[in-house]
Amino acid sequence: MVHARNNHCITDELTLIVPAESLYTDICFNLNKAASDKHYSDIYTLHDAYVPMYNKGTLKIKVKRDSLGNKAQYGLVTIRNGKESWAGGVYSDGFITAGINRLGDMYAVACDTIAPKITPVQPEKWVVLKEIKIKLQDDKSGVKSFRGTIDGNYALFTHDVKSSVYKYIIDPTRVEKGKSHLLKFVAADGCGNESSSESTFKYWPIPNAPFTPNRIAPCGTNCGVCYVHLRQKEACPGCSSDGIKPK
């Protein structure tokens, strides 16, 4: 491959295009192929050494076992040191096409048919901390979209890109106290697989005095780790109580 011009590697089952000025130097490109029972294509090794690319190249691989009805569930995976990572791509006419940013990796066609896993995080603490937490996991194409509602009304969940936990700060002007509420959380991955989860919670009013997690009740219990004050029956007044021992 020549640094200063467009480069093409074309076979019946693969097309690799490396645009001009993408390589930092000329290379003698090698392509290797190995059969795979695990994937929907053979495994292709693009060159025998890692070569970074200044501009993205285009890789197209044929789906040899085209058995999925939902073609959006196909995608390319990068195989490095025996571990696969999702590279994605678009299905068209029996091929998956995706962008790549370096040579030297192995690629194959795989699929993602599993929806994201939704897990409520410590729901018993939602009311105490006035914060709802949901954990989202997707080990292939990744979470593409998510939406939370409370009683059918949109709830703004936010998250750090480095974290799998999504958070909603309970807004007392929108979530009525003393009533049960229905939280519905829906998530979809990059291949369109969708999952949903429903949870109910009751936003209890705190009796007699404002509650803060760092207060110690006269009984000696830290209200931040005790939920007796949230009971519907025989609720402890919490940090405003007068020596009452929670039952």
Q: What percent of the chain has pLDDT over 90?
A: 75
Residue 243 has pLDDT above 60, yes or no: no
Q: Is the pLDDT of residue 227 over 70?
A: no
What the block records as the tokens of 74 is 């196909």
Tens digit of pLDDT for each residue in 111-167? 999 999 999 999 999 998 899 999 999 989 999 999 999 999 999 999 998 899 999
User: Bigger pLDDT: 247 or 222?
Assistant: 222
- pLDDT at position 58, please? 98
Distance CA 178, CA 209 (A): 16
Q: Model-level pTM?
A: 0.76
pLDDT tier for residue 198 given thresholds of 50, 70 and 90: very high
Closest CA to 219 of 239, 233, 204, 193: 239
Compute CA distances 243 → 80, 191, 219, 247, whole Å.
62, 57, 5, 13
**What's the confidence (pLDDT) of residue 205?**
54
Question: Do 124 and 229 contact (CB within 8 A), yes or no?
Answer: no
- Helix (H, G, I), strand (E, B), or coil: what is residue 110? strand
Asked whether the predicted pLDDT for residue 69 surpasses 90, the reply is yes
The angle formed by the CA atoms of residues 21, 22 and 26, to the nearest 5 degrees, is 80
Does the structure show a pLDDT above 80 at 208? no
